[in-house]
Chain A
Amino acid sequence: MNSGHDILIVGAGPAGMAAAIELRRLGLMPLVVDEQPRPGGQIWRDVERQRPDVLRRALGPDYAAGADMVARFRASGAEYRPGTRMWHIERGLRVFLSQDGQAFLAEPRALVLATGAQERPAPLPGWTLPGVMTVGAAQILMKGSGQIPDRPVWIAGSGPLPILYMRQLLAAGGQIAGYLDTTPAGAARRALPQIGGALRGWGDLRKGLGWLRDLRAAGLRLQRGIRDLAAEGETRLEAICYRTADGRSHRVAADLLLVHEGVVPSVHATLSVEAPHVWDAGQGALRPVLDDWGMTGIDGLFVAGDGAGIAGARAAVARGRLAAQGIAARLGRPATADAIAATRAELRAATAARGFLDAVYPPPDTPIADDTIVCRCEELTAGEIRAAARIHRGGPNQVKAVTRCGMGPCQGRQCGYTVNRLLAETYGQTPAETGFFRIRPPLRPVTLRELAALEEGREAP
């Protein structure tokens, strides 16, 4: 089955929805697919749901604002297929998808990947124990399922998301045992060169400072400069250990630890089709090389949203609109010069404070102990990766071949950056020189039954 669409958008978060709305405005008809059952992406997940007042208030106005975008997306007339997963892309733009257990093919003239970001995997001892989860996961539980931790919860990490979640959690009646801030000391010194951008993006930063003030006023126990965080337990989390800035070690009982070390772009799809990427040192992550419309080095393949580099929801909307305007121009339905200029100005405004945030919240540099699991799927430790590196002196793909690291179901989404870092450290080279796993199809597991659907309707040879 071929979808027969000229434009395919993968992802119905801020970027994907904005792209679809703009394409419809310009008289074009995209197909939008998304693996979730409802539009919104992770940031506006399940935003259409009617909620009890306490939860609605706790999630806050920035979340509620997503409802307007989702309503405009629903009203745009764009064809929308939820519960649909992309599992392979080929150059010449053949895109393989699955919905309801049936695979189908799209051969669009333009493809927008608006697949967003994931939380940066940051291995720590015991992070595979039940009871250790990410802050993003807990926030998704609150948005999607109306669930909060049933006891005072420990939160550890760095970045804006823990601050936002803690504020939401307290407002919803949850309790926080303590916040262990792992942000390296010296944030002011790091961020000073970015102060100009911070002033231009002051509105967003002021919001974050306000949240922090609210949390302090609510009596949050906040400890800064935390090192050597570890989770302990036999079959589930029982305690957490950490070292405070004064050098003292602590061990406290815990049944739930939420961790967060920033977010990184989803690059598996663009890597799989070998689009050119660069190493973004500020964000400690790969991102695809894009032209000023968001098109990759592969003709017709666009990336919009956090997949283009972490910049947040407001920038994602602008990037989605810009990609739509770029595609519309290619298909002979150009937007006005004024509309394009307005989109570019909005993107500049939305990204003004990003350099400042990146400097305040750098990727973690905590040493990874040899006995810490790196590959959650194959249960391989940092020591095993280092040993393979010392013996074989190879890159990520050789290490993958000899250890199976990155060959489990997540396909390197949880271990890729850690392997990159361990090899770079072992060989004394940069992350950019070290490179990343080669990403192979399928991007998601596919059943044989799904694949068989591709052949239906074809004549026997």
Chain B
Amino acid sequence: MFKPLADPARRAVPVFVDGVETPAQEGETVAALLLRVPPHIARHTPVQETPRAPYCLMGVCFDCLATVDGETSVQTCLVEVRPGMRIERPRGKLRITA
């Protein structure tokens, strides 16, 4: 859906999205990255398990919630990528397993 404009000043930042090493760009938010990584969503909702993408990117819609370095329900539009960051996209209802 989106493409980054060429910007030599932005270094590549390696992060992991659902366990897959993915090149992010220095200074971008996690939500901005997720919009470029197929299937271009942030999560499946916990109510009807429908796919959602970041919507407002300014911290008011909470549709970009994902798990970042083990912390659940992080508003990814408010967090910038860091090297080695691990991002997991929620897959619907939380299932508690033994």
Q: Which residues of A contact B (CB under 8 A)?
A: 35-37, 42, 46, 49-52, 54-55, 118-119, 128, 130-134, 136-137, 140-141, 144-151, 172-173, 235-236, 255-256, 266, 376-379, 408-410, 413-414, 445, 447
Contact = CB atoms under 8 A, between A and B. Distances in A.
Chain B residues touching A, majority SS: loop
Given A51-B7, A377-B62, A136 B57 contact: yes
B32 A141 contact: yes
A413 B60 contact: yes
B25 A150 contact: no
Given A130-B53, A376-B61, A149 B73 contact: no
B28 A145 contact: yes
Given A130-B53, A133-B55, A144-B32, A414 B60 contact: yes
Contacts of A145: 4, 25, 27-29, 32
B4 A146 contact: yes
Majority SS at the chain A contact face: loop
A192 to B, nearest CB: 34
Contacts of B32: 141, 144-145, 147
12 contacts: A36-B78, A49-B9, A52-B5, A128-B50, A132-B55, A140-B58, A141-B32, A145-B4, A147-B28, A236-B41, A376-B52, A410-B62
A149 B50 contact: no
Contacts, number: 134
Nearest to A83: B78
Interface string B1-21: 111111111100000000000
A415 to B, nearest CB: 11
Contacts of A379: 45, 47-48, 50
B71 A409 contact: no
B7 A147 contact: no
Contacts of A256: 1
A52 B4 CA distance: 12
Nearest to A118: B60
Contacts of A141: 2, 32, 35, 57
A131 B25 CA distance: 22
Contacts of B35: 141, 147
Given A144-B27, A236-B51, A130 B39 contact: yes
Contacts of B77: 140
Nearest to B8: A52
Contacts of B57: 133-134, 136-137, 140-141
B88 to A, nearest CB: 17
A35 B57 CA distance: 13
Interface residues of B, number: 43
Interface string B61-79: 1110100000101000110
Contact of B61 (A37, A144, A414): A414
Given A136-B57, A379-B50, 16 more contacts: A46-B27, A52-B9, A119-B56, A133-B54, A140-B77, A145-B25, A146-B5, A146-B7, A146-B25, A147-B35, A151-B1, A236-B53, A255-B1, A256-B1, A376-B55, A410-B61
A51 B4 CA distance: 12
B93 interface: no
Nearest to B71: A447
B90 to A, nearest CB: 12
A149 to B, nearest CB: 6
Count chain B CB atoms within 10 A of each CB in A128, A137, A414 and give the residue with the most.
Answer: A137
B2 A150 contact: yes
A184 to B, nearest CB: 24
A106 B40 CA distance: 39
Output the residue of A42, A49, A50, A145 with the most chain B CB within 10 A. Answer: A145
Contacts of B47: 377-379
A36 B80 CA distance: 9
A241 to B, nearest CB: 20
Given A35-B78, A236-B39, A379-B45, A149 B2 contact: yes
B84 interface: no
Contacts of A128: 50, 52, 55, 63
B59 interface: yes
Contact of B9 (A50, A150, A236): A50
B61 A413 contact: yes
A147 B27 contact: no
Contacts of B10: 146
B40 to A, nearest CB: 6
A130 B52 contact: yes
Nearest to B45: A379
Given A146-B4, A147-B32, A413-B61, A137 B51 contact: no
Nearest to B24: A145
> Counting chain A CB atoms within 10 Å of each CB, which of B35, B39, B52 scores highest?
B35
A235 B48 CA distance: 12
Contacts of A172: 5
A447 B8 CA distance: 38
Nearest to B6: A52
A409 B62 contact: yes
B34 to A, nearest CB: 10
